[in-house]
Structure 1
Amino acid sequence: MKTTVKVWDPMVRIFHWSLVTCFAVAWLSADEWQDLHEVAGYTVMGLIAFRILWGLAGPRYARFRHFIHTPSRVVAYLKDICKGREARHIGHNPAGGMMVLALLLGLSLLTFTGWLYTTDQFWGEDWVEETHEFLANLLLMFAGLHLAGVILASVRHRESLVKAMLTGRKRAPSDRDIA
């Protein structure tokens, strides 16, 4: 019997940690090192484009169809969390899948407003800069919620999701888990 199973392929893991790094660099370099900030932002754009393609054509657990659920399913899962009876998912759970979508959408809007601010037409427009800053801070909050969810799931299911995102492997599913 296998003790672990492959879940996240190397491309998903490289994407994830690259995105974390680029977002942190962009957030920390804002208003200080514009060239670095822009390089990090454009790299995020490229990473998002890759992830969209990989979500359509990548392996099982990378595919959107595997972890994107209806809003009612996400709400039901969140209610189960509150009751302490949420199922363990081998890939992303419904709340995690929703967070992936929220982060990809938010980062897409963030990088779009960042790029927009560099154009002749919108350079110096307060509303573009304010929208960009609002989205950056909102995404920082989302990242905090994501980390809280990772910690909660790690504790509840007695496995390190951070380790799984480093190694690509998780504990093999039991008959009660959702593969």
Structure 2
Amino acid sequence: MASTVKVWDRPVRFFHWSLAGSVALCWLTADELQSLHEVAGYAAAGLIGLRFVLGIAGTRYARFSQFIRSPKRTLLYAGDVVRHREPRYLGHNPLGAAMVMLLLVIVGGIALTGWMQTTDAYWGVEWVEETHETLAELLLVAIALHVAGVIHASLRHHENLALAMITGRKRAPAAGDIL
């Protein structure tokens, strides 16, 4: 049996790291380099579109149908995490899946409200600006939780999930792992 297996394909890894880069660039250029900020925001929006295509028609572990779990199952998994009894998932675990969706929604909302601010109808509209900024702040919290979850799962299951998102490979499944 192989010691590692391919889980994350190139399009998923491209999406992940490109979105991380776009978000970082947006954060670094906010209020300073507006044209670069907007280009990075449009790139993030396009990447969200790509991820939805991959979520519907991508490879096995990219598909939403493979990793999105019900709220009940996600809460049960969270309880298992607290009790240190959570199983290892080859793809996204239920909390990781919830975070994927949360990040997609938040970044999508930021992109939408950012675009709205460039239109005549919403230029200078306070609630649009405030929503954009609030979502950006919420995104920073979600990113911190995402990184903490990756570190926790990496330690609990003795595998480097960040490296897996670079190489596309994870440790081969063992008994009890969820494929």
1:92 aligns with 2:130: no
Paired residue for 1:120?
A: 120
1:72 aligns with 2:51: no
Q: CA deviation at 1:163?
A: 0.5
Segments of structure 2 that go 5 or more residues without pairing to the other structure are none
Paired residue for 2:41?
A: 41
Match for 2:80: what amino acid? Answer: D
Deviations 1:38-92 (A, max 9, x none): 0000001100001101110010000000110000011000000000010000000
Query: Secondary structure in 2 aligned to 1:150?
Result: helix
1:156 aligns with 2:160: no
CA distance in 2, matches of 1:74, 1:143: 19
CA distance in 2, matches of 1:107, 1:97: 15
Q: CA deviation at 1:136?
A: 0.4
Match for 1:175: what amino acid? Answer: A
Pairwise CA RMSD: 0.5
* TM-score, length of structure 1 as denominator length: 0.99
**May I ask how many residue pairs the two structures share in their alignment?**
179
What percentage of aligned pairs have identical amino acids?
A: 56
Q: CA deviation at 1:125?
A: 1.1
Q: CA deviation at 1:35?
A: 0.4
Query: Secondary structure in 1 aligned to 2:152?
Result: helix
Match for 2:103: what amino acid? Answer: L
* TM-score, length of structure 2 as denominator length: 0.99
CA distance in 1, matches of 2:155, 2:74: 20
Q: CA deviation at 1:141?
A: 0.6
User: After the TM superposition, which of the residue ranges 31-40 and 121-130 deviates more from structure 2?
Assistant: 121-130
CA distance in 2, matches of 1:50, 1:34: 24
Segments of structure 1 that go 5 or more residues without pairing to the other structure are none
Paired residue for 2:5?
A: 5
CA distance in 2, matches of 1:21, 1:107: 13
- Give 4+ residue runs of structure 1 displaced > 3 Å after superposition: none
CA distance in 2, matches of 1:73, 1:97: 11
